[in-house]
Structure 1
């Protein structure tokens, strides 16, 4: 049973440089009724946000990626993104990164890897998506 059956389909963009993480997040979210797009780098994510006519309702963004890390992506989005504001959940395996660090960087929250499925879905649902 989908957790969002009474809502219209919501769009989530998942950004991670590890293909297995993208696949797993997409599988989990699509099974809950979300429409999921993926990006394997920060630059690809920015391009998708800038060029898609229908913007994602939420971005789940890995912190540690080559070329452009999650902090740089958030900074770019916050400085160049036109309304509507898109919440970003920062995703990391680095437990030394606090929720306060994520919020200070412009994220709306943080998800730690490896994911606890229940916590992962609760974090996503917090944004009414």
Structure 2
């Protein structure tokens, strides 16, 4: 047949019977596989609401900051779903020194610490 033994073994392994997520996993039948397997956090309504509330609170908090401070915090901490950037990457983007980016970040955090709402996140 001129078929690689590895390909045959892989085909045999992949040819297993499907399992229903609704299949009872206990002898009493009250727990299904779907109950056991943890899904993405976004599917949990409580987690989705908490995430949205945190997003709204962060939006309120950063209103006290300047545009550059908000931009640096969003990049450094990955706020708003953005990827996390290092001070070096932000420095190159904004054409500032790494130390200046760090200072702006520190000053922005100091301003946020003065806000009463920040205790919710600590």
TM range (shorter): under 0.3
Q: What is the TM-score when the length of structure 2 is the normalising length? A: 0.25
Q: Which has the higher strand share?
A: 1
User: Between Structure 1 and Structure 2, whose CA radius of gyration is higher?
Assistant: 2
TM-score when normalising by structure 1: 0.24
Query: Which structure carries more helix by proportion?
Result: 2
